[in-house]
Structure 1
Amino acid sequence: MTDRPTGSEFGDGEPVVRDKRRIDPDTGAARETADTSAAPAPGAQPGTPGTPGAQPPRDPSDLVGPSAQEALLTEALAERTADLQRLQAEYVNYKRRVDRDREASRELVIGSVLTELLGTLDDVGRAREAGELEGAFKAVAESLERVTEKLGLVKFGEKGDTFDPRIHEALLHNYSDEVDGPTATMIMQPGYRLGERVLRAARVAVSEPTEQLPADAAKADAPAESTDDDADRSAE
């Protein structure tokens, strides 16, 4: 059945016949509608890359000018340079600390070994003073002294040295008119040091000037002198 529009709807012209049936009566096939033919092709979405009218994504660097880009690069370079310098300084400090600790450990071990040899060196010194250091014993003793000196062992303590409590140990004390200040007048046992470390203080006898004699001791001597004078007068 076909719809026949009336003349009042389209005017007075020839009548227009429209077949709205979805099935073709001759072939029996379904007809395509106008909406289907006008549909966009699959995958062609407006505004997507590859379709007409689509815009590609912009590079962030395009949003700033050349001057701003240069400033950003300069700032990033400065940050990386500062990080590198900080790491380098940390490495240098670490290396110095390791070297210092290694040297301290080395001196500690050497000092422990040399401390055990001080008694032997004392025996060598006493034998030399007594004139008994000769022959094979002399060669061994001199070889031992050379080795200890090579390791950094230094002997100190001489008669006439100014007394220093940091490196001297006073075993005897007296007063003398022949000194101007506290003086080591006798070396009982020499001292030894390794670098700045004192392995053993020198053991000495110390003499001080008579002017520093305590007042109590001076008063104690005065009555004895006067008593002797009185006894001499009485005898006369």
Structure 2
Amino acid sequence: MTDDLAKAQQDLVELTTDLKRLQAEYVNYKRRVDRDRELVKQNAQYSVLSGLLPVLDDIDRAREHGEVEGGFKAVADSLERIVLGLGLEKFGSPGDEFDPNLHEALMHAHSPDVTTTTCQNIIQAGYRIGERVVRPARVTVVDPEPAGDQ
């Protein structure tokens, strides 16, 4: 009788250990699937939103020339609101400190008016989704005057 009880207790311990291991494997599998699902979603958003950048650039150029009016203005505003809602953030302004992770310098000059490398003109806006840069801002930059020229 005691042998049967000891064997039953040993079987119970083994089955409990197996159950805990299977439960841990399931939890890890579920986390991996959730992470992969989120990554697929982010990549799909990145792909779609990066495909819309030329359209957003065209809207920016039309705005600069005063051609965004009437019904087209409503469409442009709606499109910009939608991409903003999907996490696409526009960046790059004259006067920003140059950051090679965010900006692509197209031209370079010197100026006594700045103390650090600074974006002077924004040729093409940059875009990011969260911390991920979709496209760097294309800019002209100015550096402080070299010490010997002052």
- Range into which the TM-score falls when normalised by the shorter chain: 0.7 to 0.9
Shift, 1:77, TM fit: 2.9
CA-to-aligned-CA distance 1:67-119 (integer Å, 9 cap, x gap): x93x5544433322222221111111111111111111122122112112111
Q: Percent identity?
A: 56
RMSD: 2.0
More strand, by proportion: 2
> Aligned match of 2:42 in 78, 93, 107?
107
Aligned to 1:129: 64
* Structure 1 residue identity aligned to 2:98: F
TM-score, structure 2 as length reference: 0.87
Larger radius of gyration: 1
Matched length:
149
Question: How do 1:144-223 residues align onto structure 2 when only pairs under 5 Å count?
Answer: 144-211=79-146, 218=148
> Which has the higher relative contact order, 1 or 2, with Cα contacts under 8 A spaced 6 or more apart?
2
TM-score, structure 1 as length reference: 0.58
1:87 has 2:22 as partner: yes
Q: Which runs of 5+ in 1 are unaligned?
A: 1-60, 222-236
CA-to-aligned-CA distance 1:18-43 (integer Å, 9 cap, x gap): xxxxxxxxxxxxxxxxxxxxxxxxxx
Aligned to 2:55: 120
